[in-house]
Chains A and B, each alone.
Chain A
Amino acid sequence: MSDKTLTRMDLSEAVFRQVGLSRNESATLVESVLQHMSDALATGETVKISSFGTFSVRSKSARVGRNPKTGDEVPISPRRVLTFRPSHLMKERVAAGKKKR
């Protein structure tokens, strides 16, 4: 397993290579993709990208948590969390990647 980490830079480099825009504009467009997805999610909208996966916002109700170190009870207020469900294609490609090694 590789411990390499990709960042925005690697994504804009890929856009630069494959689409042929300037490096600068490639970076702006990658940012714009993430921004539009974030904006939709912030309003509670589900973002469904076919053959990639689905991001959905779920509401969690309030509950009493516990500080695992001290055992103190702490109230956890209701909040919204994001879940990502990978597509079949992504699951298959990730599972198959293991075998190539």
Chain B
Amino acid sequence: MIRSELIQKIADENPHLTQRHVERIVNTVFEEIIDALAKGERVELRGFGAFSVKARDARIGRNPRTGEAVKVDDKKVPFFKTGKLLRDRLNGK
């Protein structure tokens, strides 16, 4: 499923809303999550999962092709943990 299919499904269920409205609703949801993570906040959606930010330490990496050592700065990366309900659903419970 891709973004446009998700929008279409919701538009079909809500004939009183325009396609444009549904697009804005769906986009707002995803933008809000990214904005929160960019601020270092967590997003917890019970039953679905939680998005958080993890810190990675600086390290000495290696260019796999040349074997050269390269400095990798410390950084923040997004992380998602699946919620219990969704995890159970994936396994047919």
Contacts and interface: CB of A to CB of B under 8 A. Distances in A.
Given A14-B32, A38-B48, A45-B1, A57 B90 contact: yes
Residue of B21, B40, B47 with most chain A CB atoms under a 10 A cut-off: B40
Interface of A: 1-8, 10-11, 14-15, 18-19, 21, 26, 29-30, 32-34, 36-38, 40-42, 45-53, 55, 57, 79-82, 84, 86, 89-91, 93-98
Given A1-B40, A19-B21, A38-B89, 5 more contacts: A14-B32, A49-B3, A52-B3, A86-B78, A94-B76
B2 A37 contact: no
Contacts, number: 152
Contacts of B87: 81-82
